Amino acid sequence: MADLGGGVRFFGPGDLRFLKLHFAYEHLGIATKQCQHIFLTPDALKPLSIAAENRSEKDMTNISKEKIENLKSKVKGQIVLPSDSSYDEVRQIWNAMIERRPALIVRCAEADDVPPAIAFARENGLEISIRGAGHNIAGNALCDNGLMIDFSTMRDVRVDAEKKRAYVEPGATLADFDEAAQSHGLATPVGINSTTGIAGLTLGGGFGWLTRKYGMTVDNLISVDAVTADGKRIRASENENADLFWAIRGGGGNFAVVTQFEFKLHEVGPEILAGLIVFPFDEAKQVLTKYREFVKSAPEELNVWAIMRKAPPLPFLAGDVHGKEVVVLVTFYIGDAAQGRKLIEPLLRFGTPHGEHIGTQPYTQWQKAFDPLLTPGARNYWKSHNFTELSDGALNTMIEFAGKLPSPQCEIFIALISGAANRVPENAMAYRHRDPKFVLNVHGRWDERTDDEGCIAWARAFFQASAPYASEGAYVNFMTEEEGDRVAAAYGANYDRLAQIKKEYDPENLFHLNQNIKPLL
C-alpha cells in the first residue's frame, strides 16, 4: 500500500480508476497535486510489458553485430535492441492497444543522427517508423521488426522572445513547448493534453484552446529543418523548398523526418480564465442547442467545447452526481478576466447546472488540466468527424450514444475550432479543412482487453450513425490505423499535389508508416 499524500492511499490495481478520477478533479478544480504516481503504476503499463520468455523469434531480425556496432559509431544517440533491459520501456507509446516490436530503436541525440539511421534502414531493408512523443492513436510511431527513429530524448525548446519565435526539437511535448514559451508570456495554439508531441500534432494540423484566435498549430509554423528520404538535410519554409513546406503542413510524416520546428508566438496570459460548467444529462439537448447558437457570435478570445461523459468526482459536484452522465461546457478565455466572466455568464443559464468551477489560473496549468483523464497505458479507440454545423440530427445522435457509454472513461468531445482557422484558404497548405466549425472526437477508452469488443463496437456504431450529419474530410491526427481509406478524403482536392510532391521527395515511399500518401506513379 502506498501513501500518495493528501490522504490518498493506493491499495492495489483495482484502485487505479478511482485514482485517475481523484487526480482529475484535483487538476480541473485548479490543481495543486501532480499525478506522476499514476503514470508510473505498473498496472497502467502492463499491456505492453511482454515478458522476455514470451518474445517471439521474429524479434531477432538478422542484423549482424558488426553492422550494429558500425551504426553506433555513426550516431551520438543510443541504439536500443530487443535484448536491452530498457527496450520495453523505450518502445512504450500512449495507446496500449498497439503492441509492436522494432528490430532496433535509434534514440537520436541530434539531427545528425537521422541520416545514418535512414541509410541503415535502407541498407538492411528495414521499414522506418518515426516517434515524436508517441501519442498518435494509430500507433504508427512503432513498427514491427523495423527501425524506429525515436526523438523522445530531443526535447529542447529555444525561444527568441524579441522575435516571438520558438525553435523546437521533434521530441518536445506540448508541456515542454508551453513552459518555454510562457516563461516569456508567449504561446501558440497547440492541443489540450500536455503530454502530446509537438511533432505529430503539428504535422497533422493541430488545434486547441487558442485556435479560434490564432489558427491551427500548422498556421503558425514558419520553417522546418528536415532530413529527406535520400538522407539530405534541408530547410523548408515559404522561401526555401516551398513545395515541401506546403506538403509538410498537414501531410504528416510522409515527406521527410523533421528535426526542428520554427513557430510564430503570440502574447498569451500568463493568467487565463477557464473552467467547467456541468449540467444534468437530461438537459443535454437544450444545453447543446443553446451552445451551438452561442458560439456563432462568441468573440475569438473565447473558446467553449462540449463534452458528454460520466462525471468524475469533481469537488464542486454533489456526491450523487459522480459517475452519472453529464454534459460539460469547458470554457477558456484570454483577455480581461472581468470581461471574460461577463461573456461566460449566459452559459450558466443554459440549464440548471449541477455545479461550475471557473477561475483565473496560469495558462500552463490549464494546458495540463485534462492530463489525468488522458494518461498513457489505457486502451483507446477513436473515431472523428468534422462538422460545419451541429444539426438537430447530429445532436440527437451524440446524445443517444452518450446515453450508452460502454466504459466510465469513454467520452464524446465536441471541439470548437472556427475563427482564425477558418480564414486560411483551403489550398494554402496540405491541411485543408477550413470550413468545419467543430471536430467531433468519439473517444473510446478503457482499461481491460476484455472490454475491447464492446467499446470498439460502440465507437464504430456512433461514428456510422453520426456520419450523415458530418461535413466532408477527416482529421488525420485522430485516425486509427485501419482508416487508410480515409486519407484521400482527409486531403480532398489537395491530394494530387501531395502525391506529386511525395514522388519528388520520397519516390520509394520509404516513409509509409503513417496515414500514407502514395507517390504519384
Tell me if 170 contacts ligand FAD by CB under 6 A.
yes
* Cα-only R_g, the chain: 22
The 3-class SS string of 199-220 reads HHHHHHCCCCCCHHHHCCHHHH
End-to-end Cα, the chain, rounded Å: 61
Tell me if 146 contacts ligand FAD by CB under 6 A.
no
Q: Which is nearer to ligand FAD, 208 or 250 (CB)?
A: 208
**Torsion-angle region of 419 (φ positive above 0: left; ψ -120 to 50: alpha; else: beta):** left
Tell me if 94 contacts ligand FAD by CB under 6 A.
yes
| 457-486: contacts with ligand FAD (CB under 6 A) | 477
Tell me if 193 contacts ligand FAD by CB under 6 A.
yes
Tell me if 251 contacts ligand FAD by CB under 6 A.
no
Which grid coordinates are listed for 452? Answer: 475491447
Q: Which is nearer to ligand FAD, 257 or 308 (CB)?
A: 257
Which grid coordinates are listed for 54? Answer: 514470451
Which range in 50-58, 80-88, 250-258, 267-275 contacts ligand FAD by CB under 6 A? 250-258
Tell me if 505 contacts ligand FAD by CB under 6 A.
no
Per-residue x/- mask for ligand FAD, residues 355 to 374, rule CB under 6 A? -------------------x
Among the listed residues 140, 223, 384, 397, the single contact to ligand FAD using CB under 6 A: 140
CA distances 150 to 172, 376, 395, Å, are 12, 17, 41
Tell me if 151 contacts ligand FAD by CB under 6 A.
yes
Tell me if 134 contacts ligand FAD by CB under 6 A.
yes
Among the listed residues 61, 136, 220, 407, the single contact to ligand FAD using CB under 6 A: 136
Tell me if 253 contacts ligand FAD by CB under 6 A.
yes
Opening angle at CA 193, ends 217 and 78, nearest 5 = 85
Cα(200)–Cα(205) distance, integer angstroms: 9
Relative to beta strand 147-150, strand 128-131 is parallel
Q: Do 126 and 61 contact (CB within 8 A), yes or no?
A: yes
Cα(274)–Cα(173) distance, integer angstroms: 22
Cα(170)–Cα(156) distance, integer angstroms: 8
Tell me if 207 contacts ligand FAD by CB under 6 A.
yes
Among the listed residues 47, 146, 191, 436, the single contact to ligand FAD using CB under 6 A: 191
Q: Do 248 and 224 contact (CB within 8 A), yes or no?
A: yes
Tell me if 436 contacts ligand FAD by CB under 6 A.
no
Count of residues of this chain found to bind ligand FAD when the rule CB under 6 A is applied: 34
* Binding residues for ligand FAD (CB under 6 A): 94, 130-137, 140-141, 151, 170, 191-193, 196-197, 199-201, 203-208, 252-253, 257-258, 374, 477, 514
